[in-house]
Amino acid sequence: MPFEELVKRINPTLKKITKKLNGHFTFFNDEDLYQEAMINLWVRYREGVLHDKTDSYILQGCYYFLRNHLRKVHEDAAFVSLDSPINDEELKLEDILCTKDPSPFDDLESSLDIEEAADKYLTEREKKILIYLLEGMSMREIGNKFSISHVMVLKIRNRIREKYAGHGNWLRN
């Protein structure tokens, strides 16, 4: 069987596998993982290993190959903290990479009785989350308070920012 025919048969399932694995490892996207799987398949095909194997066996092999590949890349990756000094003058990576643009929340926190202005534009839940954010609570802590995921807290925070940006500076209205 030609390689193109094999790829055509297993392609939809292989795409699902790479999408599933991408959900766990954010440093690769689906296409990166798909290309790694294709390279592995091509090498194994050229060696004759796939000659008498079923599609299920081949796909299982791709899955295990990608999991192992991700594990190795993750173990070999050198993670650098933004808080770590990078030179003798105690300059931090964060000082170089991170912008110090003011957040819409900076103005909000400094110039407003939050509850008064927020009543006009935010739901009760958004107001409570905003207050917790301004108190410096983490997304996970807020999520635990509301029995929701930290991802949902992040979405709500983004919705608050959109409302704030969409209404201009609603503090002065």
Over residues 93-146, the pLDDT tens digits come to 555 555 445 555 555 444 444 555 666 778 888 888 888 887 888 888 898 999
Domain final position from 42, 76, 110: 76
Give residues with Cβ within 8 angstroms of 82, minimum separation 6.
92, 93, 94, 97, 98
Q: In terms of domains, do 58 and 14 share one?
A: yes
Give the predicted TM-score (pTM) of the model.
0.43
The structural domain count of the chain equals 2
Has residue 56 got a pLDDT over 70? yes
Closest C-alpha to 51, from 85, 5, 19: 5
Closest C-alpha to 70, from 99, 102, 104, 40: 40
80-99: average pLDDT: 57
Assigned domain for 112 exists: yes
The domain containing residue 136 runs over which residues? 101-163
Residue 33 binned pLDDT confidence (cut-offs 50, 70, 90) = confident
The confidence score (pLDDT) of residue 82 equals 54
Has residue 50 got a pLDDT over 80? yes
% pLDDT > 70, the chain: 64
